[in-house]
């Protein structure tokens, strides 16, 4: 704590992601750990992003080396694929893949619809396309038990194009003499993974939000609809909150 007190550079007000990190850890650590990684991940300078982007990264003064400190942390026993297959196996649920819902909307009778897709697509890009960052995953297999000492390594250097490397067997608990890793490469185009929070994009989103509030029979929920950087547990908690709100309104 004394070290951080010495090196931090007070920023007031906090206007962007550069401000919030330098305010916590100072310029040197910002340059070494945050600046290049953030630019690689978002294709924007930290000062072009809202404080929430880098502000979500914890800075600790203890020996806890976990990224998350939640009391309960787990992986589904049989993996996420099996978990979702079980959730969707009810006889009243019909799944249609590779289909834009707008092409079949007139054939579906509903009192309420839950929409979790990109909000700009719902309104036919009325206020322009909201920017997202996408990811390309490349997988490599190695004929050795482990390749790296931990499950995930974030690559802060700009000498490599990928942002992080994940060795999945650390997370799943599998025991095998070989190992597989995924390398994550941020991209501009592709499946929308991350909203890009800054003032301009947030203002654009709020135009869509005003239109959302006029829709009485549509329930909007999720990361793409709300243009928010949710973690998985936050998405689940928010979904339950929205569901409870709908039940109470009935």
- pLDDT of 188: 92
Tokens describing residue 22: 């330098």
Is residue 122 located within the same domain as residue 137?
Answer: no
Instruction: Please state the rounded mean pLDDT for residues 181-204.
Output: 94
Query: Which of 64, 84, 63 lies closest to 73, judged by CA?
Result: 64
Residue at which a domain ends, from 55, 74, 98? 55
Tens-place pLDDT, residues 41-81: 999 999 999 999 999 888 888 888 888 888 888 888 888 89
Do 118 and 139 lie in a common domain? no
Structure tokens at 118: 């990109």
Domain end call among 16, 34, 55: 55
Mark whether 138 and 229 lie in a shared domain.
no
Instruction: Using alpha carbons only, give the angle 135, 138, 143 rounded to the nearest 5 degrees.
Output: 150
pLDDT confidence of residue 63: 87
Euclidean distance between CA atoms 113 and 249, whole angstroms: 15
Tens-place pLDDT, residues 118-168: 999 999 999 999 999 999 999 999 999 999 999 999 999 989 999 999 999
Residues 165 and 201 placed together within one structural domain of the fold: no
Joined tokens for residue 55: 């502000």
- β-bridge partners, 194: 133
72-105 per-position pLDDT tens digit = 888 888 888 999 999 999 999 999 999 988 898 8
- Number of folded domains that form the chain: 3
In the predicted model, what is the mean pLDDT of residues 163-185? 94
pLDDT at 33: 94
CATH code for position 232: 3.40.50.720
Question: Which domain does 178 fall in, by range?
Answer: 132-187
User: What's the confidence (pLDDT) of residue 53?
Assistant: 92
Do 43 and 166 lie in a common domain? no
């Amino acid at each position: 704590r004394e070290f951080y007190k010495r090196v931090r550079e007070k920023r007031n007000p906090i206007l962007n992601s550069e401000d919030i990190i330098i305010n916590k850890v100072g310029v040197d650590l910002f340059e070494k750990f945050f600046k290049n990684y953030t630019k690689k991940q978002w294709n924007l300078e930290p000062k072009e992003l809202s404080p929430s982007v880098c502000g979500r990264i914890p800075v600790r003064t203890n020996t806890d080396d976990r990224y998350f400190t939640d009391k309960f942390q787990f992986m589904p026993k049989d993996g996420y694929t099996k978990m979702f297959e079980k959730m969707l196996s009810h006889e009243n649920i019909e799944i249609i893949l590779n289909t834009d819902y707008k092409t079949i909307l007139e054939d579906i009778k509903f009192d309420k619809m839950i929409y979790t897709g990109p909000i700009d697509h719902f309104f036919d890009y009325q206020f322009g396309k909201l920017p997202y960052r996408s990811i390309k995953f490349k997988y490599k297999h190695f004929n050795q038990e482990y390749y790296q000492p931990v499950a995930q390594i974030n690559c802060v250097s700009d000498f490599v194009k990928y942002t992080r490397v994940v060795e999945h067997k650390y997370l799943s608990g599998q025991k095998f003499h070989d190992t597989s890793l995924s390398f994550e490469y941020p991209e501009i185009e592709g499946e929308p993974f991350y909203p890009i929070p800054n003032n301009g994009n947030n203002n654009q989103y709020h135009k869509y939000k005003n239109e959302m509030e006029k829709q009485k029979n549509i329930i909007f929920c999720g990361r793409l609809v709300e243009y928010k950087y949710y973690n998985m547990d936050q998405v689940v908690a928010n979904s339950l909150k929205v569901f409870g709100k709908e039940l109470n309104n009935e």
